[in-house]
Chains A and B, each alone.
Chain A
Amino acid sequence: MTTSSLTYGEAILSGFRYLLSNYPEVFVIGQGLWSPWYVGNSMTGLDKEFGQNRIIDSPVSELAVTGAAVGASLCGYRPIVVHPRMDFMILATDQIVNQAAKWSHMFGGQAHASVTVRSIVNRGGEQGAQHSQSLHAWFAHIPGLRVVMPATPEDARDLLIASVLSGDPVLYIDDRWLYEIEQEVSPIVEKNLRTEGPKVIRTGTDCTLVGSSYATQLCVEAAAHLEKQGVSCEIIDLRVVNPLIFDEIISSVEKTRKLCVVDGGWSACGLAGEIIAGICEKTAPSLLESTPVRLTLPDAPAPTSGPLESTYYFQSDDIVAAVLRLVSKRVGELSR
């Protein structure tokens, strides 16, 4: 099998190309699709290659455009609706949460919204509180909505394809901070989203690190530093956060008996809390040797000012520090 090197942004583009070339029922709709600076290099030239009837730049109407994509999906199409900033997608929440996610259940499985909502996390650069949010935990709360968060180029490409082909409504979240990450990727093989889930991407013995999207990449950096300090970390990349499959996380924690969850969202009712709760529920009480730790954003809106921003967003150093504390303490000692 030959491999090729792709950045995360190029990998998304190749996913789009694959879908549009092989599946005539796929089309893309959203804001800024004819002016690709909105979405980095991830959609460049698609309108020229596949025509503006299949790559539709839309009015500034998140709700109606998302609803139109859902409506078309109920008529046999597999639309991808693009929200270049997740914050603006909130305006479309009714269509995602009340309509697409519920359609199969409330009509007895006779219809299903085969729509993919691509939502981009777009933080930093002093863009402030309304251009920064990673709201995956909100949406992962909703039964019927699959939530996908690729951390690597290969996943960015393959999970986009799997999302669109799954037949279910999927929220596919990519992150601008990942676009330049490069990876040798294998040729495309269509995957079944129903069986894709968390994956061990680095093996280790001392501590389990769980991340998703950009947080996973920070975990990779942190693990390399920790290895130099004699701490061996196992990393689990969540990849699909709803429905969440716990098997790999449980096996890993059973081995390392320590857990640190890193998440680009907030703490309250968040993804990191969900992972820790799941481990507490699903394993023996005596399993964990140390109190589990979560590293999340401070419970505050994103600041605009540069110095505040650098405090707000954690770095791999913060993960290193958290893991060093974790491996040196026993259960109950961390809070003191």
Chain B
Amino acid sequence: MKNRIEGLGGLADPQLFNETLEISKWKQETLLQQLKMMLIIRGAEEKLAEGTVAGKIKCPCHLGIGQEAVAVGVSTNLRSTDRVFGAHRSHSHYLALGGSVEGLFAEVLGRVTGCSKGMGGSMHLYDGARGFMGSVPIVAATIPLAVGAGLAAKMDGRGDVAVGYFGDGAAEEGVLHESLNLASSLNLPVLFVCENNFFASHLHIGLRQPSDSIARFAEAHHIPNEVVDGNDVVAVTGAAARMINRARRGEGPSFLEAVTYRWKGHVGPSDDIDVGVKRNQDLTKWKGRDPVRRLAKAMQEKGFLSAERFSKVQEEVSTFINAAWMKAEQGDFPDQAALLDLVYFRKDEKR
């Protein structure tokens, strides 16, 4: 695998990497599923933005519009017995595993029908049956949890893997270093996925780190790593496949750095609310690297997808999302008893 620890170079330049995707090696059916999933994720997040503007959603929603290809590419290679942990911007991680859209909507609306029973909101998503083990907003906190899930997978001996998603800001937390060392020393089946979108809330990576490359930390811990265009779903899928297969074969952890960009501010529905004017110019360029448009375009050029079929898919997704939202709004709020009953395991027994 290529060692790119010298820095991201062209991958950080939004004017590059906007060519048509190379999809000839991929099955039409897989690509269509991926396209559909990216549309669902984008549509769901746009709906969340709308719900926030309308005042219906109160909890902080960290939107990942523009970053859909990462979770979709990784999840294409996963099975339900694998274990995935997310962070604060994890709608895509949850949805790409097949998590319910209505469950997400109901959760941000605080309804008991939500994926975390209305107890979590946008930042605490859960779908154990599909392997989504939880997302939390303490930066980098789920990285060691994924290492523990990797340890469990190794002990189980079924070839399952653990995945930990985090952002470039998490690389500034010491626990990333500890976790990489632990996973490497114990040779655990863990895929570390860094979505490098250059921002940690308000601050650009250039003001936080001496290099824009995060994979350099994997290098220090002798963990095989690849840096890919995170807006190219097939590039992400291919790299994740190589890494996940290695882990399944017992060859230990890997580190995937997916370079991408979020179209919204750190939190909430506005584009630039808290990150400054300079981002406006970059954002326009990054929209040229739109992962959804690039895949759709490549599929159309290959004759995999007609313009008519694409419109129909978009329409279907839109109808599906609106229906999920309406159903979510009808959910009940959690019972008051949940406040104390859920503190400890097994509420039926004394204390």
Could you tell me which A residues sit within 8 Å of B by CB distance? 27, 53, 56, 58-59, 61, 63-77, 79, 94-95, 98-99, 103-112, 114, 143-144, 146, 166-168, 192, 194-195, 243, 245
Q: Is the CB of B134 within 8 A of A111?
A: yes
Shortest Cβ gap from A170 to chain B (Å): 10
Cβ–Cβ contact B175 & A110, under 8 A? no
- Measured between alpha carbons, how far is A27 from B156 in the docked complex, in Å? 13
By Cβ-Cβ distance, the 9 closest A-B pairs, closest first, are: A71-B148, A67-B144, A108-B117, A64-B178, A75-B152, A71-B145, A68-B148, A61-B178, A167-B345
Interface mask (B313-334 → A, CB under 8 Å = 1, otherwise 0): 0000000000000000000001
CB atoms of A245 and B145 under 8 A apart: no
- On whether the beta carbons of B134 and A104 are closer than 8 Å, the reply is no
Cβ B174 vs Cβ A63 within 8 A: yes
In the complex the two chains form, is A108's CB within 8 Å of B338's CB? Answer: yes
Q: How far is the CB of A107 from chain B (nearest CB, A)?
A: 4
The B interface is mostly helix, strand or loop, or mixed, namely mixed
Contact flags B114-150 to A (C-beta < 8 A → 1, else 0): 1011111000101010000110101001011111111
Kindly state whether residue B26 has any CB partner on chain A within 8 Å. Answer: no
Given contacts A64-B181, A71-B152, A75-B83, contact A94 B138 (CB under 8 A): yes
Q: Which residues of B contact A64 (CB under 8 A)?
A: 143-144, 147, 175, 178-179, 181-182
Cβ-neighbour of B138 out of A58, A76, A79, A98 (below 8 A): A98
A71-B145, A98-B136 known; A195-B351 Cβ under 8 A:
yes
Quick check: is B277 within 8 A (CB to CB) of the other chain? Answer: no
User: Do B126 and A99 have beta carbons less than 8 Å apart?
Assistant: no
CA distance A223 to B178 in the complex (A): 48
Least CB distance, A278 to chain B, in whole angstroms: 15
Question: Nearest B residue to A95 by beta-carbon distance?
Answer: B144
Does B343 touch A at the CB level, under 8 Å? Answer: yes
Give B221 Cβ to nearest chain A Cβ, in Å.
Answer: 11
CB-contacts of B143-194 with A (<8 A): 143-153, 155-156, 162, 174-175, 178-179, 181-182, 185-186
Q: Which of B294-351 contact A (CB under 8 A)?
A: 334, 338, 341-347, 349-351
Contact A67 B141 (CB under 8 A): yes
**B85 CB, nearest partner CB in chain A, Å:** 8
Contact of B133 among A65, A66, A95, A111 (CB under 8 A): A111
Pick from A63, A75, A110: contact of B126, CB under 8 Å: A110
Which residues of B sit under 8 angstroms from A192, Cβ to Cβ? 349
Beta-carbon contact of A67 and B143 below 8 Å: yes
User: In the bound complex, what is the Cα–Cα distance between A243 and B148 (angstroms)?
Assistant: 27
How far is B118's CA from A59's CA once the two chains are assembled, in angstroms?
Answer: 38
Tell me the minimal C-beta distance from A63 to chain B in angstroms. Answer: 5
B137 — nearest CB in chain A belongs to which residue?
A: A98
